[in-house]
Chains A and B, each alone.
Chain A
Amino acid sequence: MSEFAIEARGLVKQFGSTRAVDGVDLAVGPGRVLGLLGPNGAGKTTIVRILATLTRPDSGSATVADHDVVTEADQVRSRIGLTGQFASVDNRLTGFENLLLIGRLLGQSRRDARQGARTLLARFELAGAADRPVQGYSGGMRRRLDLAASLVGKPRILFLDEPTTGLDPRARRQLWNLIGELVTAGTTVLLTTQYLEEADALAEDILVIDHGRVIARGSPDELKARIGTRTLVVRPASPSAVETVSRVMTELTGSQPERQGGRLSVPANDPDLLSALVRRLDELEIALAELLLRSASLDEVFLALTGQRVESEQDQPQVES
């Protein structure tokens, strides 16, 4: 018996000339939540697919619930739930029929499958839409149904690949709450995300992935200490003041702000920083056109960890506070 619910050593997967996964080690203790954080194309989905028995690694090995994902795939499959990157529910069935079918495929009696489906639909706030075809569901409803479908077999281990990508903030919160409840109930979760905020909200341990490699690992607090979770953004009303403001920001935060046009941004962890800055600039009689504190974007995480920007174009949610 391993002390880990999920354990992988030296995973490698190559597609043509792309090394999608390049020597990844990871371990998730029972009942814990690991977040894989990385940009598009980092290899997150491929790692999940290997662990969920959908793809064989070229080298390395992994066990899930003490069973090897390659040689004991069937034992692994009966112990996991998987919610893929794109909601994979049947659009032409109703929500109820989707869950009923999964229950039947898992060997539940007709009665148990029906009952289980209704219970899950109620818990995921889909009872009202249960008998409507999934075609007409919103993105958030579809995601919730997808998650519910992964839970029909009551798995102790759950894989969630970008569970909230493409959802609006409200639907995202709702899904976070549902995932939180599962974790409280003791489910082991491995999830992937492109959002630091999401990894912070859900995961106890985070692996930062880039180009198929783990470039940083730690608890959200450890990573935040290295990265700075928030970014202070300042734009003086007059461009001639940019130099002075930049100097003040360096003094207060200890790091050189980044400059984009007339706008300066710097990682900021100290909650008193904002008022300190306002006071200093007031003394210097510098007027500001813009002043805000926002969550660090993935781009900034990568900049802090690797000194490089994320290569791929992507939409990053800028949650302003």
Chain B
Amino acid sequence: MKSLPASGLEQTFSLAWRSIVQLRRNPWELGDYSFQPILFLLLFVYVFGGAIAGSTDDYLTYMLPGIVVMNMMFVTVYVGHGLNTDLTSGYFDRLRAMPVARWAPLAGRITADLVKQAWSIVLLLGLGWLMGFRMEAPVWGLLSMVLLVLVFALAFSWVSVLVGVIARDPEHVHLFGFTALFPVTFVSNVFVPVETMPGWLQGVVMANPVSVLSDASRGLLLGGPWLAQAGITLAWAVGIIAVFAPLSLWALRRRLK
């Protein structure tokens, strides 16, 4: 039974499988991207929706695409969290002492992240549909929206990788991830239209890629304009990868020295 080293791609899938199987024993993580977005959705629509948009139905229509984007940002924290757990526990060393492709552990994490992201998106859109959300665009609009969110998730997970490499322990990844993401996701047009905010804030909000991606998502689901916003989102994605991927790999090499 002589075994040849598996190809890097097979190893990536095996490691992605690992991250997903782990979820069974981590209800907290699963809750963070299953129950938390559901709670947000219900809370905002039924408690604040009437006051913000005049009716809960109108508010659901406005807010559902945005909350998908916001949730995507929080889910990426687990890429860095998982990576940091492996680094601090020595599991990463076990993988490095085996004939495993250098990039497979990271690629496995990011692949698993995309699966989790897809699950969260389906969950939120499904619940939205039950609550009365109706798409006004053809199916390709839905598919493009999901794809765009996943592409941005792929890019943004590199930020999470950097945090995961630098942080002392997994709790710090959590702490940093969530404290940084609350302002980034709330100072956006996810929950309320930018026109209702003071002028000085509008500039910040519109520059936030979370707003840009939310606008593109709304356009794609509701039949509004989306092309320009999708283009800006992709530019952000490329920019984030160009900065954070090399930075993360550099920090990782330093940490493993």
Contact = CB atoms under 8 A, between A and B. Distances in A.
A108 B98 CA distance: 14
A107 B3 contact: yes
Q: Would you list the 3 A-B pairs with minimal beta carbon distance, nearest first?
A: A88-B90, A107-B6, A92-B22
Interface of A: 49, 52-55, 74, 77-78, 80, 82, 84-93, 97, 101-108, 112, 116, 133, 135, 149, 153-154
A105 B15 contact: yes
A78 B99 contact: yes
Contacts of B21: 92-93, 97
Contacts of A53: 96-97
A320 B97 CA distance: 38
Interface string B1-32: 10111100011001101100110111000000
Contacts of B15: 101, 105
A101 B91 CA distance: 12
Interface of B: 1, 3-6, 10-11, 14-15, 17-18, 21-22, 24-26, 89-91, 93-100, 256-257
Contact of B94 (A88, A103, A154): A88
Contacts of A92: 21-22, 24-26
B99 A77 contact: yes
Contacts, number: 85
Contacts of B26: 92
Contacts of A105: 6, 11, 14-15, 95, 98, 100
A88 B10 contact: no
Nearest to A146: B94
Nearest to B22: A92
Contacts of B98: 77-78, 102, 105-106, 153
B169 to A, nearest CB: 14
B22 A93 contact: yes
Given A74-B99, A84-B94, A88-B89, 17 more contacts: A54-B93, A54-B96, A54-B256, A55-B257, A77-B98, A78-B99, A82-B97, A84-B93, A90-B18, A93-B18, A97-B18, A106-B5, A106-B98, A107-B3, A112-B3, A153-B98, A154-B1
B94 to A, nearest CB: 5
24 contacts: A54-B93, A55-B257, A74-B99, A77-B97, A77-B99, A84-B93, A88-B91, A90-B22, A91-B89, A92-B21, A92-B24, A92-B25, A93-B22, A104-B11, A104-B14, A105-B11, A106-B3, A106-B5, A107-B3, A107-B4, A108-B1, A133-B25, A149-B94, A153-B3
B6 A86 contact: no
A259 to B, nearest CB: 43
B94 A86 contact: no
Contacts of A135: 25
Contacts of B10: 104, 107
B22 A86 contact: no
